[in-house]
Amino acid sequence: MKSGGGSCSPRARPAPQPGLKNTWETPVFLPIESIGDGARKLTAIQRNWHLHSEENHRRASLIQEKLPHVSEKPRHFGEAAPTAPLGSWTLWEPNLILASARCSSPFPDGVVQFHENKIDPPSRAYLKLWESFTLLPKRPGPGDLCLDLGSAPGGWTWVLASLGAQVFSIDKAPLAPQVDHMPGVSHCIGSGFALDPRHAGAVDWLFSDMICYPDKLYEVICRWIELGSCRNFVCTLKFQAETDHATAAKFAAIPGSRLMHLSCNKHELTWAKLEQ
């Protein structure tokens, strides 16, 4: 399972822009003469549009009503992300639309809504992994060994075990009983920071939703990357009173990384690095 060593050294790249759920990548202004004219000009560009209403709400909603319907219903976990382009638009002035046919997220305003499981998982933290695996190109499955650092009460461990993976979970607190008894789950009482990758051996995935300073998590992750002890990572960067932009930029600069602000992230970001 062991892969070659890596590096945490930053690569040359533009300054990252974390914390944005959705970026309008091709914004243009469209002068319009009427509600119908606005709808025609948008549909002339493409079919699917989402209204992000900031001003002129009533007039904007009348334009949106004339556009083809785009479903915004909650999704079941496991459904693939939409592939059809979804543009965003707003009525900048009564007769001026600001629209972007191409956006960074295939979901309206970058928000992914799920039919939640309010029975089995011990916390709502599981939604972070559901959304991450919806946006990322792969997820763990049978035969994969996952390490979940700071796992209690077990929301992330519950997701990983539900996918059929083997999960080694570590936390100073116990897992919720319904998670601890799941097939494939092994829990160890201890600190996620104290686990030395040289002694733990190679794993396919490393996960962390630990409450800790991002710079401390960065040190932990770099040890695993430099030793080549893990192929895939998904971790939460939890900020204190102020966002640690410097450390967020260091995470974003790790080769092969992706930094996301998920719908259920509060004052935090989700960082992922997947083996290509």
Q: Which has the closest alpha carbon to 59: 96, 98, 99, 91? A: 91
Residue 6 has pLDDT above 80, yes or no: no
Q: Which has the closest alpha carbon to 254: 230, 264, 262? A: 230
Q: Mean pLDDT across the stretch 198-218?
A: 94
Residue 14 has pLDDT above 70, yes or no: no
Structure tokens at 238: 């939890």
CA atoms within 13 A on the CB side of 104: 16
| Whether residue 267 sits in one domain with residue 142 | yes
The reported pTM is: 0.88
| Whether residue 33 sits in one domain with residue 103 | yes
- Chain mean pLDDT for the chain: 92
Residue 241 has pLDDT above 70, yes or no: yes
Q: Mean pLDDT across the stretch 85-101?
A: 98
| Whether residue 168 sits in one domain with residue 267 | yes
CATH of the domain at 210: 3.40.50.150
Q: Is residue 1 part of a domain?
A: no
What share of the chain has pLDDT > 70, as a percent? 93
Residue 155 has pLDDT above 60, yes or no: yes
| Whether residue 264 sits in one domain with residue 157 | yes
| Whether residue 143 sits in one domain with residue 190 | yes
Which among 59, 80, 110 is the end of a domain?
110
| Whether residue 223 sits in one domain with residue 91 | no
- Specify the DSSP element, H or E, that contains 51: strand 49-51
| Whether residue 211 sits in one domain with residue 87 | no
Q: Mean pLDDT across the stretch 253-267?
A: 92
Q: Is residue 6 part of a domain?
A: no
Residue 18 has pLDDT above 80, yes or no: no
Band (pLDDT 50/70/90 cuts) for residue 37 is very high
Name the least confident of 25-29, 32-36, 97-101, 243-247. Answer: 243-247
Band (pLDDT 50/70/90 cuts) for residue 4 is very low
238 catalytic? Reply is yes
| Whether residue 150 sits in one domain with residue 261 | yes
Residue 10 has pLDDT above 90, yes or no: no
Q: Is residue 200 part of a domain?
A: yes
Band (pLDDT 50/70/90 cuts) for residue 8 is low
Residue 110 has pLDDT above 80, yes or no: yes
Bridge-partner residues for 236, per DSSP?
Answer: 270
Which burial class, exposed, middle or buried, applies to 186 when counting CB atoms under 10 A from its CB (0-12, 13-18, 19+)? exposed
Which among 78, 110, 142 is the end of a domain?
110
Residue 275 has pLDDT above 70, yes or no: yes
Band (pLDDT 50/70/90 cuts) for residue 264 is confident
Q: Which of 128, 238, 250, 273 is catalytic?
A: 238
Q: Mean pLDDT across the stretch 73-81?
A: 94
Per the structure, the count of domains in the chain is 2
Which among 110, 143, 173 is the end of a domain?
110
Residue 7 pLDDT: 54
Which burial class, exposed, middle or buried, applies to 140 when counting CB atoms under 10 A from its CB (0-12, 13-18, 19+)? buried
Q: Is residue 19 part of a domain?
A: no
| Whether residue 189 sits in one domain with residue 98 | no
Q: Is residue 13 part of a domain?
A: no
Q: Is residue 5 part of a domain?
A: no
Q: Tell me which residue range forms the domain holding 56.
A: 27-110
| Whether residue 221 sits in one domain with residue 177 | yes
Q: Is residue 119 part of a domain?
A: no
Residue 1 has pLDDT above 90, yes or no: no
| Whether residue 77 sits in one domain with residue 146 | no
Cα–Cα distance for residue pair 185/73, rounded to 1 Å? 33
Q: Is residue 242 part of a domain?
A: yes
Cα–Cα distance for residue pair 191/172, rounded to 1 Å? 6
| Whether residue 131 sits in one domain with residue 106 | no
Q: Mean pLDDT across the stretch 114-137?
A: 97
The Cα-based distances of 133 to 102, 115, 179, 253 in angstroms read 22, 15, 20, 21
Residue 32 pLDDT: 98
